[in-house]
Amino acid sequence: MNLLRIGLLAVGLSSVLMVLACGGGDKGVKTAKDTLPGQPDMAMKEYDRAVRLAPNKAIAYYARGGAYGRLGQYHRAIQDFDESIRLDPNLALVFKNRGLAYSNLGQYHQAIQDYDQAIRLDSNLDGVFNNRGFAYLLLGNLPRAIQDFDEAIRLDQFYTIAYNNRGLAYLGLGNFVKAIQDYNQGIRMDPNNAINYNNRGLAYARLGQLEQAIQDYNQAIRLDPNYAIAYKNRGLAYSQLGQSSKPQLDKDKACLLDSKYCE
């Protein structure tokens, strides 16, 4: 089953350098994408320069930590977030992003502790309830995960990922009708997301509505022709319907795209 993740946020270089040049504080800095897309080495040199310019500014370490996170260097990201927190322990975004780094390392309990602190500092912080809910989901605490997804949706009724993640939790609890309701909402808001269709297909299949499930897998594959698990799931549905050749064709395609489906 595919799960939806949220990547680390990074403060844009232009924002960091502007704050440092003006001698500004750390509060209220907006997050942005890296200003040097496709040039990670150059970007990291600039983040290093920002730290050298202001070694006592929490924002400089926070920004570089976000950049490390986006490169998948989560241990180095955590080191920078640690220093940012040491310099200013009241920045909710830093705790949130350190939580994301811990989550990407599979350290979900530690991630939850950071999300808890981020919420204590700013209970309206964008995405933090969804992220904590996702950590609970990965730990198998599905009711607790749903509580957080509920809160994320209460704060932002158009938060597509929270609907998708809550749908996963409902799938895990066997509440397939509610899962479908969440995926319906996710599809209305993001009709080009193949994961929504694949996961709704799973819920239909569990309800025995195999033809409807196959329609969803078909749409998932149309949107993402390399979506291996959608082929695997469609093959299973064809097999349950007693089809002869189609299940093997889909199994072979799934194996070709991803070796873990070759068993």
Task: Go through the domains of the chain in sequence order and give each one's CATH number.
Answer: 1-119 (1.25.40.10), 126-191 (1.25.40.10), 193-263 (1.25.40.10)
Across the chain, what does the average pLDDT equal?
86
Residue 12 has pLDDT above 50, yes or no: no
pLDDT surpasses 50 at 184: yes
- CA-CA distances (angstroms) from residue 237 to 50, 63, 95, 250, 262? 54, 47, 43, 10, 17
**Both tokens assigned to 177:** 């009708």
Q: Please give the structure tokens belonging to residue 34.
A: 């890296």
Residue 255 pLDDT class (50, 70, 90 cuts): very high
**Which of 26-40, 151-165, 239-253 has the lowest average pLDDT?**
26-40
pLDDT at 39: 54
Predicted confidence (pLDDT) at residue 192 exceeds the cutoff of 50: yes
* Res 222 pLDDT > 60: yes
pLDDT for residue 2 is more than 50: no
Give me the percent of the chain exceeding a pLDDT of 70. 84
Residue 15 has pLDDT above 70, yes or no: no
Mean pLDDT of 9-34: 35
Q: Is the pLDDT of residue 4 over 80?
A: no
Residue 74 structure tokens: 């989560």
Q: Residue 40 — very low, low, confident or very high, per pLDDT cuts 50/70/90?
A: low
Amino acid at 63: A
Residue 54 contacts residue 11 (beta carbons within 8 Å): no
Instruction: Round to whole Å and give the CA distance between 116 and 237.
Output: 41
- The answer on pLDDT for 90 being more than 80 is yes
Of residues 45 and 134, the one with the higher pLDDT is: 134
What is the rounded distance in angstroms from the CA atom of residue 5 to the CA atom of residue 122? Answer: 21
Helix (H, G, I), strand (E, B) or coil at 56: coil
- Model confidence at 254: pLDDT above 60: yes
